[in-house]
Structure 1
Amino acid sequence: GDDLSYSWIIDNNQYSNKESFSYYFDKQGEYEVILVVSDGEDSSEATSTVQVAEIDLPVHAIQHDFTVEIEYTLINNGPGSLRDIECFMRIPQTYYPFQIINNYTPSILNTDEVFDKNWNLLIHFQFEDELFEGESLTASVETDVTLYEFNYEDIEIRSIESSNLSYDEGDEDLKIYTTDDLFIDSDNPKIYNTAKSLIKDETRPIEIAKILYNYVVRNLYYDFPRAEEEDYEFLYASEILERRKGVCADYAILYTALLRSAGIPARLAAGIPVYTILFEEEKEIDVGHAWVEVKLPGYGWIPIDITVEDNFMSENYYLDITTEKGPGYLYKNTTMDPWSYYYDGFFFSWDGTEIPEIEQEFYFRVINLDLEDIILD
């Protein structure tokens, strides 16, 4: 058929002509969202109403405004030149009340936005020039962010009050985020039996999440040699349970699997560890970080950085910036459905039969924030 055209209209203002795009509602109110799709002859229109309201969040936050730079570099060691060069770069979106993205600026103009199946945002760079042997090129984005140190208000009281709370009937997250997934083998007997033996007769979601958190923290040790490996292989939660050691991704995978096995919605999250970066002399690192998001009655989806091994739901001053939610980073570049995921990094073509040797480098930098700006007890 003919190519389709798209028009997004929010409160009588047109914002995008792409199939999908991100939009941040920064004020309370009721918004009418219209999508018009046309093939040049016929058109179809869909309308929806979005209600934005302030809610009483159980989070006390201390605000920080600063800039994060994400930089990817492609180095061509030859033989030959690279052409048709593209780059996909994951960048953060607004997830209120934990992070707000005020603006982002790509290093080149020829970019567009794409989303993966979990609605994570990627900037798609396209380069017109060839990259000759011995040369390199860089794609980068500067993002102005508002991030928060936070703690959960009245946690002891809310835990008691939440004892009678349950998930909403028909909550889709209970279907999506309590089943097994790649490496998250929550249906494995080792995972299920471990969770069951720990929980016993406990039914309160917050208490269940706390019990499983404490188990992982007390029984898993950080695997420093594994952390030094550039391309370590991911492990299934049941394997991590037996090894009793791991890196941040292992902590997150195991905790997520245990939660799901117990009927608590949980998902992986990954991104930029700002607090860790501030300890570096140049305030830059070349590795990301992984943690868990848990959905709890009375709180909604909250981030839990289990690798730090603090007390459950204690004060969080780590300023982790989420660039990805869901299991996408666990999938390799070849899948049964390669169009379901976009992968970070550069893609290109070349002439000849010999594949050029290339290097890809990734850096996260923090600008206008120092370690002494973080408020610690």
Structure 2
Amino acid sequence: MRLHQRNPDLSAYLAADEVIDHSHPVVRELATKLASRASDAYTYAELAYEHVRDTVAHSEDAGDERVTWRASDVLEQRTGICYAKSHAYAALLRAEGIPAALCYQRLADDDGTNSVIHGLVALKLPGESAWARQDVRGNKPGVDARFSLGPERLAWTVRQEFSEMDYPVLYDVPHPAVLATLRAAPDRSHLWRTLPTEL
């Protein structure tokens, strides 16, 4: 799949903002801790990936009603849906100078109905010419996502016969529809009913 940077300036994918708040002490402390165990950028990116995938619960899987969207809150409260977990992973990457983008898939039920937007992260490691998409959603029976710079190991591969698709755009900030939905949700049950269905 060919990915397209929304912003041609790579520094945009290193920036901090209200959502990807990698200058926040919670993010900085965790980034420093993970970096102390890493020998290079690749190892750090994989450690950060596994931390978010495995220690931040997907709130739908866990039945957690809290809604998080700011990276520091996701890491502190250890809960969030795919978008929120992607914000946290992007913040950890950017905290250590690794360009990170947000990207999305449209997925559906097995009969092609009930489409929903799923959030991913793409990173660009030193010496790599291409961006590599990663899925920190969290594994469960039937889902086995893994960190990979080679063949993608995402939670789901899109099925064109069900009108699923990979959106090729690499966003430096969350898509407005995604962020608006997260901010408007009083709880996860409401959020689940109002997730965006297309971008």
Q: So what's the TM-score if we normalise by structure 2? A: 0.69
Residue of structure 2 equivalent to 1:303: 133
Task: Tell me the distance in 1 between the aligned counterparts of 2:32 and 2:61.
Answer: 32
Q: Aligned equivalents of 1:307 and 1:183: distance in 2? A: 17
Q: Are 1:197 and 2:33 an aligned pair? A: yes
In terms of mean alpha carbon deviation, does 178-187 or 320-329 score higher? 320-329
1:118 — aligned with what?
A: 6
Partner of 2:166 in structure 1?
Answer: 321
- Letter aligned with residue 257 of structure 1: A
Letter in 1 for 2:147: F
Q: Quote the residue 1:251 is aligned against.
A: 85
Distance in 2 (alpha carbons) for counterparts of 1:206 and 1:361: 33
Larger Rg, first or second structure (1 or 2): 1
Among candidates 198, 211, 214, match of residue 50 of structure 2: 214
> Which 5+ residue runs of structure 1 have no aligned equivalent?
1-94, 100-116, 120-170, 334-359, 365-377
CA distance in structure 1 between the aligned counterparts of 2:57 and 2:179, rounded to whole angstroms = 25
Instruction: Give the AA of the match of 1:189.
Output: P
Q: Structure 1 residues 187, 363: CA separation in 2 closer, same or farther (over 3 Å shift)?
A: closer
2:13 pairs, out of 167, 173, 177, with 177
Structure (1 or 2) with the greater strand fraction: 1
2: CA distance, partners of 1:361 / 1:220:
20
Q: Give structure 1 regions of 4+ aligned residues with deviation exceeding 3 angstroms.
A: 225-229, 314-317, 330-333, 360-364
Structure 1 contact 252–306 (Cα < 8 Å) conserved: yes
Q: How far apart in 2 are the matches of 1:308 and 1:225?
A: 9
**1:308/1:284 CA distance change after superposition, 3 Å:** farther
Q: CA deviation at 1:264?
A: 0.7
Q: Specify which of 86, 89, 114 is matched with residue 285 of structure 1.
A: 114
Is the CA contact (8 Å cut-off) linking 1:177 and 1:266 kept in structure 2?
Answer: yes
Q: Indicate whether 1:312 and 2:147 are aligned.
A: yes
SS at match of 2:119: strand
1:148-193 deviation line (CA, Å, top 9, x unaligned):
xxxxxxxxxxxxxxxxxxxxxxx942x2211202311011111011
Q: CA deviation at 1:263?
A: 0.9
Secondary structure of 2:116 counterpart:
coil
- What is the SS of the residue equivalent to 1:239? helix
Q: Residue type matched to 1:318 in 2?
A: T
Aligned pairs (5 A) from 1:99-248:
118=6, 172-173=9-10, 175-200=11-36, 202-224=38-60, 235-248=69-82
1: distance between equivalents of 2:82 and 2:179?
17
Displacement after TM superposition at 1:294 (Å): 0.6
How high is the sequence identity, in percent, across the aligned residues? 22
Q: Deviations over 1:351-372 (max 9, x none)?
A: xxxxxxxxx99757xxxxxxxx
- Please, what is the CA RMSD of the aligned residues? 3.5
Opposite residue 325 of structure 1, the aligned amino acid is L
Alpha carbons 2:54, 2:138 under 8 Å: kept: no
* Matched-pair contact (CA < 8 Å) for 2:20–2:87: yes
Which structure shows the bigger proportion of residues in helix conformation?
2
CA distance in 1, matches of 2:195, 2:14: 35
How many pairs were matched up?
Answer: 167
Q: Show structure 2 runs of 5+ residues with no match.
A: 140-144, 159-164, 182-193
CA distance in 1, matches of 2:195, 2:99: 34
